[in-house]
Amino acid sequence: MELQAQQQEVIQKTVDFLKQKFEKEPSGHEWWHLYRVWQNAKHIGKSYPQANMYIVQLAALLHDIADWKFSGDFYASSKAAAEWLRPLNVSEEVISEIGVIIDNVSFKGAAEAKMKVSIEGQIVQDADRLDALGAIGISRALTYGGYKQIPLYVPDKKPKLNMSMAEYKNHTDGSTINHFYEKLLLLKDLLHTDAARSIAEARHKYMQGFLDQFFKEWEGKA
Ligand code: ADP
Ligand code: NI
C-alpha cells in the first residue's frame, strides 16, 4: 500500500517528535527501540498486503509513548498518542484504531498473552516482541536490570512462570536471568505472524546459547 504525501508527513513529524522526546529514556524505550520496532513492523508488513501500513507505522512509533508499568494507567499510551495525533488532523477513526493497538501491545505477564487483535495490531505486537529477543533483547534486559537495580542472577530464586498482570507488574524480587524464563523465552510461541516467527527462531537460539554459556561460566566450567 502506497502512503499519501500527507500521511508520510504525519509519520515524519512523529519521528522528529519522538527522537527528541525519547532521546534519553532509561528503561528500554528510548528512541532507538521505537526505531527498531518501526523497522521490524515495516518488514513484517511486507508479507501482509491487506494491512493498513499507515496505522501500523504510527502505532509502532507511538506504542511506548507512556509506560503502563510506571504510570499505573493502562490507557496512558493511547491517550498520549491521541493528544499528539489530533492536532495533526489525523482522523478520529485512525486515532481510535491506533489507540486499541497500543493499549494491547505490551507484554503484561505470561497469563495475559494471546489476546485477539487486528492484523495491524498483530504486526505491531510482533515487531515489539522481536526487539526483546536476540542480542538486542539480551542487551535491553541487562540495561533494564541495571536501571532498576535488579540482581543479575540469584541461583536459589526460581523463575515465576505464568504470572498474571498484577503479579508481573509487582514482581521485583527476581533477577535479570529469571526474566529470560518469565518473558523472553516465551515470546517465540506468542507471535502472531509467520514473518516474525522466522526471525524469532534464530534470536531465540542465540539467547539459549547465551544462557548455556552464562551458567557454565557461573560454575567455572567454561
Ligand atoms: P516492551 O517494549 O517490549 O513492552 P517492557 O516495557 O516490558 O518492553 O520492557 C522494556 C525492556 O526491558 C524489554 O527488553 C524487557 O525485556 C526488559 N525488561 C522488562 N522487565 C524486565 C525485568 N524484570 N528484568 C530484566 N529486563 C526486563
Ligand atoms: Ni516496546
Would you list the DSSP string of 129-195?
HHTTSHHHHHHHHHHHHHHTT--S--TTS----S--HHHHHT--SS-HHHHHHHTGGGGGGG---HH
* pLDDT tens, position by position, 122-180: 999 999 999 999 999 999 999 999 999 999 999 999 998 888 877 877 777 899 999 99
The CA-atom distances, in angstroms, between 95 and each of 1, 79, 129 are 19, 10, 23
Cα 5 to averaged position of ligand 1 atoms, centre (Å): 35
pLDDT band at 107 (very low <50, low <70, confident <90, very high): low
Pocket test for ligand 1, best of 68, 102, 140 (most atoms within 8 A of CB): 140
* pLDDT tens, position by position, 116-138: 789 999 999 999 999 999 999 99
pLDDT of the residue at 110: 55
Whether residue 72 is predicted with pLDDT greater than 80 in this model: the reply is no
pLDDT of the residue at 69: 57
Alpha-carbon gap, residue 181 to 93, rounded angstroms: 38
Cα 84 to averaged position of ligand 2 atoms, centre (Å): 18
Whether residue 68 is predicted with pLDDT greater than 60 in this model: the reply is no
Residue 132, ligand 1, Cβ within 6 A: yes
Task: Decide if 121 contacts 196 (C-beta within 8 A).
Answer: no
Residue found under cell 518469565: 182
pLDDT of the residue at 38: 98
The CA-atom distances, in angstroms, between 193 and each of 27, 31, 86, 155, 197 are 27, 25, 30, 35, 6
Atom of ligand 1 nearest to the CA of 106: 4
Residue 150, ligand 1, Cβ within 6 A: yes
Residue 128, ligand 1, Cβ within 6 A: yes
Q: Characterize 27-44 residue by residue with b for buried, 16 or more Cβ atoms within 10 angstroms of its Cβ, and e for exposed.
A: ebbbbebbbbbbebbeeb
pLDDT of the residue at 215: 98
Q: What is the mean pLDDT of the chain?
A: 91
More confident residue, 198 or 74: 198
Atom of ligand 1 nearest to the CA of 179: 24
Q: Cell triple for residue 23? A: 532521546
The CA-atom distances, in angstroms, between 182 and each of 105, 163, 202, 207 are 17, 8, 19, 14
pLDDT of the residue at 117: 85
Percentage, residues of the chain above pLDDT 90: 76
Residue with the nearest Cα to atom 7 of ligand 1? 107
Residue found under cell 524464563: 181
Residue with the nearest Cα to atom 9 of ligand 1? 28
Helix axes 119-130, 53-62, angle to 10 degrees: 40
* pLDDT tens, position by position, 7-54: 999 999 999 999 999 998 888 889 999 999 999 999 999 999 999 999
**Closest-CA residue to 138 (of 188, 37, 186, 206):** 206
pTM for the whole thing? 0.92
Atom of ligand 1 nearest to the CA of 105: 4
Whether residue 70 is predicted with pLDDT greater than 80 in this model: the reply is no
Residue 64, ligand 1, Cβ within 6 A: yes
